[in-house]
Chain A
Amino acid sequence: MSRPEDTLLADVHYDDVEARKYTTSSRIQNIQASMTRRALELLDLKSPSLILDIGCGSGLSGEILSDVPEDEGGPHVWIGMDISPSMLDVALQRDVEGDLFLADMGQGVPFRAGTFDAAISISAIQWLCNAENSETSPAGRLSRFFNGLYASLKRGGRAVCQFYPKNDTQKQMITSAAVKAGFGAGLLEDDPETKNVKVYLVLTAGSAGEGGKSSDITGIVEGMEDVDVLDNRRKGKTGKGEIKKGSKAWIIKKKEQMERKGKVVKSTSKYTGRKRRIQF
């Protein structure tokens, strides 16, 4: 699979030809629609809301936001920002209902505090990991984006960003930038370990959840079918201090440490860590 963000900038890559291709391809339309519906499900909005669409492109996902029926809490009003003028031009021709903005998400989110009920972003934030010139760095762009987003969301608001991470490092980089900005962050993966894996970064801004449910991603996916929760935080907490010094587990851990350092270590057997018999 080719990755456009490796070769060109977003506003250069999505020129008139590319923007039209992107919008008219029925395959891309279907994928975008299903991802937007999944994101909406994660946002769980109960009444008509104001939503920010980051990297709205030609408004494919915005259309779905405007079309949410009344009994499911819609229709929502959305404001979309994108860096590619060609994409926005296609959106204009398609006559989408939301407001459009020509803006770079890596320069922040120019809205006053507490503006939006929710934010959505489909296949966009991986572009943040690329810096176009020496004056900007991916880390700076990520932190400006997440700080701006955090401020512009109302307390208790959620953001769902679907993105295509290049590798685990990128995934880690994006998540930690979000956490640093103050978000409760979690990753939801649909179809993990297949070619069609979809990664959703679920962010919650402040305030605890209702009814004792935790407000972060673990609370959101509670009650959803086919979701396995892997909570790394809990593992991190209990990982240390549990092993008693001098116990067999401790000895094996130490041996592994030494082995990693390249020292010669005796092999582990059933006698490892056992007391010696009493000698007369």
Chain B
Amino acid sequence: MKVLTLNFLTCAVRACKSSSDSFPLHPKDAELASDDVEVNPQLLVNLLPRLDWKALRTTSAELGFPQLPEQPPTIEELQADEKTLKDLHSLLMETNLMEGKLVCGHCGHEYAVREGIPNFLLPSHLV
């Protein structure tokens, strides 16, 4: 599962829908893998306004990556600076979470991740 996806995932439990703690999910015992993906600048430009930068900073810190800058780069900066684009691309698109758990900060529910596939099936009393 890409770090990009992690930036959009929330807890699926119904009681967590209204809580702000249910996003982002916190990775635990994470095993990472790196994949080669072709750089697609237009896609990143399209996605940039939709990224939750604060959540991305939290996630990247929890996964043990160097601290991201306080503010997200603007679209112009992203287009002009090759390095920023590369860095963002390798974090969002190339870093994959293969094994581990995703923990909700509100209800504490743990979603197991196996072979890069998180299990979001819930028992019916939580739906």
- Which of these binds chain B: A103-111, A121-129, A164-172? A103-111
- Interface contact A102-B119, CB-CB below 8 Å: yes
- Interface contact A110-B46, CB-CB below 8 Å: no
**Using Cβ atoms and an 8 Å threshold, which residues of chain B touch A269?**
none
Asked if A90 CB lies within 8 Å of chain B CBs, one says no
Given contacts A112-B8, A112-B23, A115-B8, contact A102 B120 (CB under 8 A): yes
Asked if B116 CB lies within 8 Å of chain A CBs, one says yes
Asked if A133 CB lies within 8 Å of chain B CBs, one says yes
Interface size of A by CB at 8 A reads 31
**Using Cβ atoms and an 8 Å threshold, which residues of chain B touch A112?**
8-10, 23, 52
- Interface contact A47-B42, CB-CB below 8 Å: yes
Asked if B115 CB lies within 8 Å of chain A CBs, one says yes
- Interface contact B121-A103, CB-CB below 8 Å: yes
- Interface contact A99-B2, CB-CB below 8 Å: yes
Near B by CB (< 8 A), chain A positions 221-240 give none
Asked if B103 CB lies within 8 Å of chain A CBs, one says no
**Using Cβ atoms and an 8 Å threshold, which residues of chain B touch A50?**
43, 46-47, 50
Docked complex Cα distance between A213 and B112 (Å): 45
- Interface contact B121-A102, CB-CB below 8 Å: yes
**Using Cβ atoms and an 8 Å threshold, which residues of chain B touch A115?**
8, 50
**Using Cβ atoms and an 8 Å threshold, which residues of chain B touch A88?**
117
Given contacts A102-B117, A112-B8, contact A77 B127 (CB under 8 A): no
- Interface contact B50-A79, CB-CB below 8 Å: no
- Interface contact A77-B11, CB-CB below 8 Å: no
Docked complex Cα distance between A114 and B93 (Å): 19
Query: CB-nearest residue of chain A relative to B93?
Result: A77
How near does chain A come to B61, taking the closest CB pair, in angstroms? 19
**Using Cβ atoms and an 8 Å threshold, which residues of chain B touch A185?**
none
Asked if A197 CB lies within 8 Å of chain B CBs, one says no
0/1 interface trace, chain B 32-71, chain A, CB 8 Å (1 if under): 0000010010110011001010000000000000000000
- Interface contact A103-B120, CB-CB below 8 Å: yes
Asked if B18 CB lies within 8 Å of chain A CBs, one says no
- Interface contact A111-B122, CB-CB below 8 Å: no
Q: Which residues of B contact A (CB under 8 A)?
A: 1-2, 4-5, 8-12, 14, 23, 37, 40, 42-43, 46-47, 50, 52, 93, 115-122, 124, 127
- Between A and B, 14 residue pairs with Cβ closer than 8 Å are A48-B42, A50-B43, A50-B50, A77-B43, A83-B121, A92-B117, A101-B117, A107-B120, A108-B12, A110-B11, A110-B12, A111-B8, A117-B46, A154-B50
